[in-house]
A and B are shown apart, each in its own frame.
Chain A
Amino acid sequence: MRENPVFKIVSKILFGPIIIYGLYVQFHGDYGPGGGFQAGVIVAAAFILYSIIFGLERVRKLMPVIFVNYIMALGVLVFAGTGIASIILGANYLDYSPFAYKIYKAQHLGIIVVELGVGLTVFAVMLGLFYAFSGFKPKK
C-alpha cells in the first residue's frame, strides 16, 4: 500500500489543509462548533495519516517523541497557568475578567488561551498513544 502513488500524493496534499482546518476549529470554537478537544484530534489525525503512508520513522523526525511528551504537559500548564494569572491579577481562579478592560474581550481572550491548552494536550495525548501502540514493536 505504501508504494501506491495515489495514497502518497493525496496524503501529501491533504496534510497541510487538515492542520489548517484543525487550527480553524481550534480558534473558531466560540463562533461555531468545535474547540480544543476536536481540534487536537484533527491535527493528530493529520500526523497519523502521514505516518500510515510514509512510515513511523519520518513522522518521528517531524514530531519527536520527547517533544510530544512535553506538549502533553505544556497544555495542562497553559490551562492551569491561566487560572494562576487571574489570581495574580486579583480575581478568582480561572476568572477571565481582569485580562482586558471590556468584559467580553477578556472572555474571548481567556477562552482562546484555555482552549489552546486543551488542544495542545489532546493533540499530544492522541499522537503519543498512536506512537506507543504502533511503534513499540521493531520492524522485521
Chain B
Amino acid sequence: MVEFWVNVFLISLLVVITFYIIRLKSLIAIVALSGAYSLTAAAIFVNMDAVDVAFTEAAVGSGISTILFLAALRYLPLEEAHHTRFSGWSLTLCIIVGLMLINAAFSLPDFGDPGAPAHLHVAPRYIEESYPLFHIPNVVTNVLASYRGFDTLGEVVVVFTAGIGVIILLTGSTLSMRFRKSENLPVQNKEASKKET
C-alpha cells in the first residue's frame, strides 16, 4: 500500500514537472527541470525494484545528459523563441492519441503479474539457472552480458557509432583535418560573431 501511494506521489510530481517544462521559457530552467524529471523517473524505478534501470537513468538521464545540454546551451539563446500559435487540430490529435494510449494501458498485464507474457517465455529459466549454475546473484547483469551478449555487443557498437558521428559533426571531420584547420578556426568564428552582431 505504501508503494502505491509513493508511486502516486512520484507520478504526480512527473506531471507537475512536465507542466512547468511546457510553460517555462528559460532554457536553463528547462534543462534543470528535465534533469529533475529523470531523477524522479529513477525514483519510480527504484520503487518498482528495477535498481539497474534506476541507476542508469540517474547517471545518464539526470547526470550526463543535463551536463551535455548545458554545454550545448552555450551556442543557443537563453530564452525559447516566442511561439504561441494555438491550433485546434493539434489539440484534437493530442487528445485522440492520449485516449488511445490510456485505453491500451488498460489491457496491459498488472505490475508483477506472474502470468504476464514477459514472465512466461525465457525469464523463468534465467532466474532459476543464474545462481545455482553460474553463481551470479544479479540476474540482470547475467542476462545482459552472458545470455544476451550479442545484443549488448550491438548496443556498444551503437553507442560507439553515435558518439563518433556526433564528435565528427561537431569538431569537423577527421583528426588530421582538425589540426590543419586549427590555425584559421578562431578567425572564422570571429567573422561569424561579427555577422551576428
- Interface residues, chain A, CB within 8 Å of chain B? 25, 29-35, 37-38, 41-42, 44-45, 48, 65-66, 69, 72-73, 75-76, 79-80, 83, 93-94, 96, 103-104, 107-108, 110-111, 114-115, 117-118, 121-122, 124-126, 128-134, 136-138
Contact = CB atoms under 8 A, between A and B. Distances in A.
Contacts of B55: 25, 33-34, 38
Main secondary structure of the interface of B (DSSP, over half): helix
A134 B175 contact: no
A114 B67 contact: no
Interface in B152-197: 152-153, 156-157, 159-160, 162-164, 166-167, 170-171, 175, 185-186, 189
B153 A45 contact: no
B78 interface: no
A48 B67 contact: yes
Contacts of B63: 41, 45
A34 to B, nearest CB: 6
Contacts, number: 143
B189 A137 contact: yes
Interface centre among B156, B175, B189 (most CB of A within 10 A): B156
Interface in B115-162: 133-138, 140-142, 144-146, 149-150, 152-153, 156-157, 159-160, 162
A118 B167 CA distance: 19
Given A29-B141, A94-B150, A103 B133 contact: yes
Interface string B57-101: 001100110011001101100000000000000000000000000
B125 to A, nearest CB: 15
B75 A137 contact: yes
B163 A72 contact: yes
Given A66-B175, A80-B153, A136-B171, A31 B189 contact: no
Contacts of A44: 64
Interface of B: 51-52, 54-56, 59-60, 63-64, 67-68, 71-72, 74-75, 133-138, 140-142, 144-146, 149-150, 152-153, 156-157, 159-160, 162-164, 166-167, 170-171, 175, 185-186, 189
Contacts of B59: 38, 41-42, 45
B160 A30 contact: no
A47 B157 CA distance: 23
B146 A111 contact: yes
Given A35-B141, A107-B136, A138-B185, 18 more contacts: A30-B142, A32-B138, A34-B55, A38-B60, A48-B67, A66-B175, A79-B152, A79-B156, A107-B135, A107-B142, A107-B146, A111-B142, A111-B145, A129-B166, A130-B68, A132-B167, A137-B74, A137-B189
A38 B159 CA distance: 13
A122 B159 contact: yes
26 contacts: A31-B138, A33-B55, A34-B55, A34-B141, A35-B141, A37-B60, A41-B59, A45-B67, A72-B160, A73-B160, A79-B152, A79-B153, A83-B149, A103-B133, A107-B135, A108-B135, A108-B136, A111-B141, A118-B145, A118-B152, A122-B156, A128-B163, A132-B166, A132-B167, A132-B170, A136-B170
